[in-house]
C-alpha cells in the first residue's frame, strides 16, 4: 500500500477508543510473529490520566540531549499518524510508516488465516506493533512509550521497561477503566512490574493508596515527586522556572505553559535522575521540550490559544491558567467535544470564565452536536456554530485586538485549529 491507503485502512479499523479491545493476547501473538521487536529495545513506560504526553516529551528531549538515540511513541496524533512514532524527535517518514504497516498487516493476515487470532488487530494495536518494529530496526538506545488507554491491558504493556512512570491519575474513560478513582488507579498500576523501579507524580489520596499498595506487593523501589521540594517557582504565560531539590539540586526551565506542567516537569526530571542522566542534560533537555496543542499560542491580535482540555482534570488545569493569567482580559471560548466526555462537568468549570462561548463540533463521526451542548450547559452569551471555521468567523466579528480566544475541548478540534491557523 501507499501512505494514504495505509492511513485509510487504519481509520477503517474504527476509532481507537470506541473500538478498543483491551487485552494483550492479539498484540503478543502479533509481536511473536514479527520476531519480538519489543524485546530488543529499552523502554521508559509512562501511564497516567493527564500529563503523560508532555511528561514523555520532556523525558525524551533530555535523553536526546544527553546523546542517546531516542524513540518516542505517543497518542493521539494532531495532524498525521506519523507523529505517533518519532526517532530523535522527528516523526517517521510516510514511506517508513507505510513499510511498517505493510509488514504488520501481512503478519496479521497470516495469523487470521491459520486461526491464531480471531480478528484484525485494532488501530492502536496495529500502530503499536509498527512502532516496535521501527524502533528495533532503528536500533534506538531507548524509547519513551506512552500508554494509550489505562495500562494493565493496554497494547503497550507487552514491554519489560527500565523504568515505569505514573503521572497524576484522574477521571477519564470511566466506561473502560472503572467509575472510581481507585479502579482507574488500579488499571494504571498495571504497568508496574517486579524488578522495574517506578516514579510516581503527586497523586490524589485514593489513587496514591492504590499505586503504593501495588508497588509494595511487587517490592519495587519508587521515587515520588512529593519527596522533592519545588522552590523559587516563577510562572508566566509561556512556562515556568523552579528549583527542584531532592537527592540533587536541579534548576528547571519548563517551556510548556500551565501550572500543571510544573508537576509534569518535576516528574520528568525525577525519572531522568533514575535513568542516570546528568543534571546539565536534564536541565537543558527539558528546556527544549515541545508538546503542541496544549496551551499553545497559534495567533496574535487577537491572541488565539489552543488546548486539548478534553476531560475534567484538563478543564481544571485550563481554568487555573485562565484565572492566573487572563483574569483581566475578555476571554472568548470556542468549545467542541466527543460524545463520551463529561460535558456538564467540563462546561461548569470553563464556561463561567468566558465572556462568550461558541459551541461547535470537530469534523469527526463521534463529535457531540453543538445543539446537544446547549441542552447541557448554560451561559449568558452562548452561541452555536456548525464548524470551527464559522465559529472563528463569529468570534472574530466582534473581538477586539486585546481579547483572548481559547479553542478547547477535543484534540480533534485543536488539530483543526492548528491546520487553519498555523499556515
pLDDT tens digit string along 155-192?
999 999 999 999 999 886 555 676 699 999 999 999 99
* Element containing residue 232 per DSSP (H, E): strand 229-236
Q: Where are the alpha helices (DSSP H) in 139-245?
A: 174-177, 181-188, 205-218
Q: Across residues 252-259, what is the average pLDDT? A: 97
pLDDT at position 178:
61
H or E element, residue 99: helix 94-113
| Residue 69 backbone phi and psi in degrees, to 5 | -85, 115
**What residue ranges of the chain are covered by domains with CATH 3.90.190.20?**
296-421
Please state, as a whole number, how many other Cβ atoms lie within 10 Å of the Cβ of residue 106.
Answer: 12
Q: Taking 60 as the threshold, does the pLDDT of residue 18 lie above it?
A: no
**Structural fold of domain 3-287:** 3.40.1190
pLDDT tens digits for range 399-408: 999 999 999 9
Say if CB 233 and CB 242 are below 8 A apart: yes
In this prediction, residue 267 carries a pLDDT of: 98
Q: Name beta bridge partners: 46.
A: 146, 165
Residue 365: which pLDDT band, with cuts at 50, 70 and 90?
Answer: confident
The ranges of the chain annotated as CATH 3.40.1190.10 are 3-287
Residue range 44-62, pLDDT digits in tens: 999 999 899 999 999 999 9
Assign 323 to helix, strand or coil.
Answer: helix
Distance CA 59, CA 205 (A): 26
Measured CA to CA, the distance from residue 423 to residue 174 in angstroms comes to 37
296-421 topology per CATH: 3.90.190
Residue 372: strand, helix, or coil: helix
- Whether residue 96 contacts residue 134, with contact meaning beta carbons closer than 8 Å, is answered with yes
Does residue 183 contact residue 177 with C-beta atoms inside 8 Å?
Answer: yes
Amino acid at each position: 500500500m501507499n501512505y494514504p491507503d495505509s492511513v485509510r485502512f487504519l481509520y477503517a479499523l474504527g476509532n481507537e477508543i470506541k473500538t478498543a479491545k483491551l487485552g494483550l493476547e492479539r498484540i503478543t501473538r502479533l509481536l511473536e510473529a514479527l520476531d519480538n521487536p519489543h524485546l530488543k529495545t529499552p523502554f521508559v513506560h509512562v501511564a497516567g490520566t493527564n500529563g503523560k504526553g508532555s511528561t514523555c516529551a520532556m523525558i525524551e528531549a533530555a535523553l536526546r540531549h544527553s546523546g542517546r538515540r531516542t524513540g518516542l511513541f505517543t497518542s493521539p496524533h494532531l495532524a498525521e499518524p506519523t507523529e505517533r512514532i518519532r526517532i530523535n524527535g522527528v516523526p517517521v517518514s510516510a514511506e517508513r510508516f507505510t513499510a511498517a504497516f505493510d509488514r504488520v498487516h501481512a503478519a496479521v493476515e497470516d495469523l487470521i488465516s491459520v486461526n491464531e487470532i480471531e480478528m484484525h488487530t485494532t488501530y492502536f494495536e496495529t500502530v503499536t506493533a509498527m512502532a516496535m518494529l521501527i524502533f528495533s530496526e532503528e536500533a534506538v538506545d531507548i524509547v519513551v512509550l506512552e500508554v494509550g488507554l489505562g495500562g494493565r491491558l493496554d497494547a503497550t504493556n507487552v514491554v519489560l521497561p527500565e523504568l515505569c512512570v505514573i503521572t497524576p491519575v484522574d477521571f477519564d474513560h470511566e466506561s473502560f477503566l472503572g467509575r472510581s478513582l481507585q479502579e482507574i488507579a488500579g488499571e494504571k498500576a498495571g504497568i508496574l512490574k517486579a524488578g522495574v523501579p517506578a516514579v510516581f507524580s503527586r497523586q490524589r489520596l485514593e489513587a496514591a493508596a492504590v499505586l503504593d499498595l501495588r508497588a509494595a506487593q511487587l517490592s519495587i523501589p519508587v521515587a515520588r515527586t512529593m519527596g522533592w521540594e519545588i522552590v523559587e517557582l516563577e510562572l508566566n504565560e509561556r512556562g515556568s522556572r523552579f528549583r527542584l531539590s531532592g537527592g540533587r539540586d536541579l534548576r528547571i526551565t519548563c517551556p510548556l505553559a500551565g501550572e500543571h506542567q510544573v508537576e509534569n516537569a518535576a516528574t520528568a526530571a525525577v525519572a531522568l535522575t533514575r535513568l542516570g542522566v546528568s543534571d546539565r542534560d536534564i536541565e537543558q533537555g527539558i528546556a527544549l521540550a515541545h508538546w503542541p496543542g496544549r496551551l499553545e499560542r497559534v495567533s496574535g491580535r487577537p491572541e488565539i490559544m489552543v488546548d486539548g482540555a478534553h476531560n475534567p482534570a484538563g478543564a481544571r488545569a485550563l481554568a487555573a491558567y485562565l484565572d492566573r493569567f487572563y483574569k483581566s482580559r475578555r476571554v472568548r471560548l470556542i468549545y467542541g467535544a466527543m460524545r463520551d466526555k463529561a460535558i456538564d462537568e467540563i462546561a461548569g468549570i470553563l464556561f463561567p470564565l468566558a465572556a462568550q462561548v461558541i459551541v461547535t463540533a470537530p469534523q469527526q463521526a463521534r463529535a457531540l452536536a453543538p445543539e446537544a451542548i446547549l441542552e447541557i450547559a448554560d451561559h449568558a452569551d452562548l452561541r452555536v456554530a456548525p464548524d470551527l471555521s464559522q465559529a472563528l468567523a463569529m468570534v472574530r466579528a466582534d473581538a477586539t485586538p486585546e481579547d483572548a480566544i481559547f479553542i478547547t475541548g477535543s484534540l480533534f478540534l485543536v488539530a483543526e485549529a492548528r491546520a487553519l491557523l498555523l499556515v
